[in-house]
DNA sequence: TCTATTTATGAATAAATATTCGTTATAAAT
DNA sequence: ATTTATAACGAATATTTATTCATAAATAGA
């Protein structure tokens, strides 16, 4: 059933981009997007997606993706947007990476996760990452490593 | 009403330490602990605490603290469990210290205060500290210095 | 292809949860 | 102290959400 997959994606999009307080409300939004389903199905969908109902700072009830799921969404968005990493410079055993404003932390997180072989650690500001290169690792190796998980460098 | 504060704490404790699938169930656990209240009050408490109802990997419904609240809980635990500093790596005259997320600043502060003999300065991100080692100070000396004020390294 | 099994779904309903309304207690102000 | 406002709460109920039961569609196996 191909429709279900698309519907689940639509549900994710809706609840990440707007405040939805009940299944009836969400159901309405889905209907407007052309998805025909009942509250029973929606309840099952939400369970499967691990959507949580909680309250926000304004004291309203809201549906939201479970924290882990949400992180993954955000990360995926950052990566696919394709303009995050803007430059890489070296000075001895230090690499300085410039990113779009605000993106340094999330990129540094990825580097921490995937670049342990070449870096011993990173510190991120707002648009700059200082990454300390492991001893005896060359700049070429660093670039190669970065290119693995950051498409922009392949160009 | 002093009782409410204690009750809210009890609710937090219960849902972080066990799987609770409904308010009725939670209500029962609270009664066993000596808290007398009705489902109506519990519903209000959960809203105030920003407790979320979601589903876990086993396909059950569970109540859990909202992500931010949860982080705070975890962090409090960390302090008392003595696991802030997680690793120390060196690359030439630079030491990189990894900490639990969010702890880099406070640890860097301690290092600045107590490590002037071995470091000329530090920069902290969220979970990483870059510390620049004074010339002609060995890695051994650095580790010895760190061990003075960070219990984990003594082991 | 034909049968068996799984998956998806809606209608109806059960179960769970939130709110309304009224009351009592607590605190603040004069 | 008396009034006024605020917060806490339960009983009843409205609302919301999950599940049961039945059916149809898709998938797998022979």
Quote the CA–CA distance of B89 and B84 in Å, as a whole number.
15
**Exposure of A80 by Cβ count < 10 A (0-12 exposed, 13-18 middle, 19+ buried)?**
exposed
What's the CA B132/C1' C2 distance, rounded, in angstroms? 75
What DSSP string describes B94-136?
EEEEEESTT-HHHHHHHHHHH-TTTEEEEEE-SSEEEEEEPTT
Alpha-carbon separation of residue A74 from A20, A66, A77, A81, B127 (angstroms): 19, 13, 5, 11, 20
Alpha-carbon separation of residue B125 from A9, A124, A150, B12 (angstroms): 34, 6, 22, 30
Highest mean pLDDT among A26-30, A151-155, B86-90: A26-30
pLDDT for residue A5: 81
List all nucleotides in chain C with at least one atom under 7 A from a protein Cβ. 7-12, 15-20, 26
Residue A74, chain B, CB below 8 Å: the answer is no
* pLDDT class of A16 with cuts at 50, 70, 90: confident
pLDDT for residue A82: 46
B-chain residues within 8 Å CB-CB of A44? Answer: none
Residue B70, chain A, CB below 8 Å: the answer is yes
pLDDT for residue B102: 63
Q: Which two tokens stand for residue A146?
A: 């970065």
pLDDT for residue B77: 40
For B24, residues 6+ apart whose C-beta sits below 8 A from its C-beta are B39
pLDDT of residue A100 exceeding 80, the answer is no
Question: B67-81 and B2-17 are packed helices; what angle lies between their axes, rounded to 10 degrees?
Answer: 80
Alpha helices in A18-151, H assignment, sequence order: 23-32, 39-49, 67-80, 104-114, 139-149
Highest mean pLDDT among A113-127, A137-151, B62-76: A113-127
Long-range CB pairs of A50-53, under 8 A, 24+ apart, other chains included: A50/B54, A50/B55, A50/B56, A51/A11, A51/A15, A51/B54, A52/B52, A52/B53, A52/B54, A52/B64, A53/B52, A53/B53, A53/B54
Average pLDDT over residues B83-99: 79
Residue A136, chain B, CB below 8 Å: the answer is no
pLDDT for residue A42: 93
Q: Give tens-digit pLDDT for B3-14.
A: 788 888 888 888
B-chain residues within 8 Å CB-CB of A106? Answer: none
Residue B98, chain A, CB below 8 Å: the answer is yes
More reliable by pLDDT, B112 or A16: A16
A-chain residues within 8 Å CB-CB of B92? Answer: 92-93, 135
Alpha-carbon separation of residue B90 from A44, A118, B87, B140, B149 (angstroms): 51, 13, 10, 11, 19
Question: Is the Cβ–Cβ distance between A125 and A85 less than 8 Å?
Answer: no
pLDDT of residue B122 exceeding 90, the answer is no
Mutation choice for A interface testing from B87, B128, B131 by most A CBs within 10 A: B128
């Amino acid at each position: 059933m191909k429709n279900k997959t698309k519907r689940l994606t639509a549900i994710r999009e809706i609840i990440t981009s707007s405040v939805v307080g009940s299944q009836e409300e969400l159901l309405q939004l889905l209907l407007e997007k052309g998805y025909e389903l009942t509250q029973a199905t929606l309840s099952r969908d939400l369970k499967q997606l691990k959507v949580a109902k909680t309250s926000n700072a304004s004291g309203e009830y809201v549906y939201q993706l479970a924290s882990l799921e949400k992180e993954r969404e955000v990360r995926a968005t950052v990566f696919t947007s394709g303009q995050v990493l803007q430059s890489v410079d070296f000075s001895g055993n230090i690499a300085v990476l410039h990113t779009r404003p605000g993106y340094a932390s999330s990129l540094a997180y990825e580097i921490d996760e995937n670049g342990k072989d070449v870096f011993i650690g990173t510190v991120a500001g707002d648009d700059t990452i200082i990454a300390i290169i492991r001893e005896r690792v060359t700049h070429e190796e660093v670039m190669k490593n970065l290119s693995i998980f950051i498409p922009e460098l392949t160009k």
